[in-house]
Each structure stands twice: as C-alpha cells, then as structure tokens.
Amino acid sequence: MMKLLAVEGVRKRYGGVIALADVSFAIEQSGIYGLIGPNGAGKTTLFDVIAGNTAADNGRVIIDDREMTGALPYRLVRQGVARSFQECRVLSEFTCLENLLFAAQPKTLGHGIAQIFTRRDAHRRAALESARHLLDLVNLTAYADAPASVLSFGQRRLLEIVTTFIMRPRVLLLDEPAAGVNPALLETLDRALRAMIAERTGVFLIVEHNMTFIFALAHEIIVMHQGVVLERGTPEQIQASPRVVEAYLG
C-alpha cells in the first residue's frame, strides 16, 4: 500500500538536547490524524523536518511513496505538503479573499511567466471560486473584502488554515489549530476540517493539546514522548493506554 506520509528512523539533536530520538511511523490511508504529547516531546521539530524547515540528522521522509529526505520547502510544497504554525500567519493588511488568492498562486517563476503570457483566465476563475467556497466553509464570507486585521484571533486562525488548504495539499500539517480559539469557532473548525478531508483525499496531521477537540476529530492518534513514538491507536485505545496515561494524560 502507498505510504502517503512516512518517517523512518528520524533523529534530530540540538547540541546536548535530543529533540527526536528515533521517530518512525507510516500513514497509508487518507484521513485526520492527531499528534499529541507533552511539551518537549518533539512534535513541532518533527513537523519542521517533514516540511523541510529543518534537516534531520538521520532518517527518511517519504511523501506519496517518494523519498523527500532533505528536500527544501519549495520542493515539498510542489510535492503537496502544506503547514500552519503555532503563531498565526496571515497577511493582515490584505483582505481575506486576497489572502486566499495569493496562497492559490503558483510560487515558481516558470508558472508566473506562463500565466502572464497565456492569461489563464480559467485558472483565475477557478481560484476565485475555490477561495469563496473556503471562506464560506469557515463562516468568513462576510469578511471577504475586509482586511484580515479586523478578524478576531480565532477567525484569523480559520483563515490561515483555509489558505493552506487552497494549495490542494496531499499532506497538511496543522500545528495547534485549536489554540486560542473560542468554543463556537472550534465547532466551525471541526466542521471545516471534516469537509475539507471529504473534498480532497490526503493526510491531515494535527498537533494539538486540546484533547477534547482532537479525540473527537481524529480517527487515529499518534503519541510522542521524549522524542519517540510512544503509542498509536484510535482515540479510545489511546485514552485506555496505561503508558499514555502515565506519560501524558494522567
């Protein structure tokens, strides 16, 4: 079966600190996966390695059965990897619609030149339609022409997530999307993520500390502890695991 996302023996050390000791797992089915564990377990470092922001000391990263170990971020974007960060990153001075349309643009010089000369109106119309659809999905249609700066923090988080999805990723890495988001917007986020994975097959891997949110959303959970994978299973199996309870949930 194709490995949509796999890491094999990934290690990363910062001086005397071992961030990733030996991380291995493979995801072969489309769906939403949770990545949990205590602070310092290595979750964000693992995201950095998968997305090409940090080079691993050892190990392999595989996307769609293709080894991408050490690939630069732009190559991973082309391969279908997108991510969000713990700190919310949107273009505050631009409108919500402009944020999405900017994210939808091909980021290579060749694509840009081709678009100038061929005037790909069909592409631009499709991008506009997709952008408006995604704004509707997160209840931001009313803010389409408003600068992102007027949004609440939770709304900016929703905008950031749909700007990653408009890139049509095969692997979407979300780093604590529920952090700082109020309960009403959490319901919107939950519905939006379920709708997005239904629209486009792929892997959503979500680092999250809100256990209620991630256990209700993900169909499988990966638990990290001290730089390794401690446990993996359904939310029910993870909640019942003595090792996980002792290391994290307890």
Cα–Cα nearest to 188, from 135, 142, 235:
135
101: enclosing H helix or E strand: helix 96-104
Res 141: pLDDT: 98
CB 197 within 8 A of CB 203: no
Domain 5-249 bears CATH identifier 3.40.50.300: yes
Cα–Cα nearest to 55, from 21, 83, 13, 25:
13
Q: What gap in Å lies between CA 76 and CA 68, rounded to an integer?
A: 7
Which amino acid is residue 22, in one-letter code?
D
- Residue 76 Cα distances to 69, 79, 100, 234, angstroms: 10, 5, 20, 28
Q: Model pTM?
A: 0.91
Domain boundaries, the chain: 5-249
Which amino acid is residue 36, in one-letter code?
I
Q: What gap in Å lies between CA 223 and CA 238, rounded to an integer?
A: 8
84 three-class SS: coil
214 three-class SS: helix
Res 120: pLDDT: 62
Q: What gap in Å lies between CA 234 and CA 229, rounded to an integer?
A: 15
238 three-class SS: helix
Within the chain, which residues score under 50 in pLDDT? 109-119
Give 46's contacts (C-beta < 8 A, 6+ positions apart).
7, 10, 20, 23, 35, 224
Res 217: pLDDT: 97
Res 118: pLDDT: 41
20: enclosing H helix or E strand: strand 17-27
The one-character DSSP state at 92 is T
- Residue 65 CB burial class (10 angstroms; 0-12, 13-18, ≥19): exposed
Res 111: pLDDT: 47
Res 153: pLDDT: 95
